[in-house]
Amino acid sequence: MTNLVLGANTVLDGPQCRIAFTTSSLAQFGQQLGLLCLPLDERRKAIYSPVYLYSTTPWATLDNVQAPTAWQLDLTTLFDKGVYHLQMIAYVYDIPGVNLEAIELDDISLTINHSIHYTFKSTERHVKAVIVLELYQRGGVYKCRALGETSTLGLEAIEQHVETSLNAKHPHAEAIRQQVEADQQAPNGIAAHRPNSGNRPPRQVPAGEQWTATAFAIDDYHLLTSHHVIESASLLGIRQQGQADREVQVVISDVGGDMAILKVSEPLPSYLTLAHSTGDLLGETITTLGFPLSGLNHQLQVTQGCISGLTGYNNDIRYMQFTAPIQPGSSGSPLLLPTGEVVGMVAASLSQAQNLNYAVKFQLLSALLASAGLAVTQPHNQAMQNKPTKPSLLTTPELSRLSRGALWMVGAQA
Q: Which CATH superfamily is domain 2-175 in?
A: sav2460 like domains (2.60.60.30)
User: Mind listing the pLDDT tens digit for each residue in 237-266?
Assistant: 999 988 889 999 999 988 888 899 999 999
Top-level class of domain 205-414: mainly beta
Residue 193: per-residue pLDDT: 28
Residue 346: per-residue pLDDT: 94
User: Mind listing the pLDDT tens digit for each residue in 165-194?
Assistant: 898 888 887 776 666 555 444 333 323 222
Q: Please report which confidence band the pLDDT of residue 16 belongs to, taking 50, 70 and 90 as the band edges.
A: very high
Residue 353: per-residue pLDDT: 62
Residue 180: per-residue pLDDT: 56
Cβ atoms of residues 342 and 357 within 8 Å: no
For 94, other C-beta atoms within 10 Å of its C-beta total: 16
Percent of the chain having pLDDT more than 70?
A: 83
Q: What does the alpha-carbon distance between residue 305 and residue 288 come to, in Å, rounded to a whole number?
A: 8
In order, the DSSP letters of 101-158 are ------EEEEEETTTEEEEEE-SSSS--EEEEEEEEEETTEEEEEEEEEEESSTTHHH
Residue 317: per-residue pLDDT: 86
User: Mind listing the pLDDT tens digit for each residue in 92-122?
Assistant: 888 776 555 556 788 999 999 999 999 999 8
Helix (H, G, I), strand (E, B) or coil at 84: coil
Cβ atoms of residues 172 and 289 within 8 Å: no
Average pLDDT for 221-246: 90
pLDDT at 294 over 70: no
Locate the domains of the chain by residue range: 2-175, 205-414
User: Mind listing the pLDDT tens digit for each residue in 357-367?
Assistant: 899 999 899 98
Residue 58: per-residue pLDDT: 87
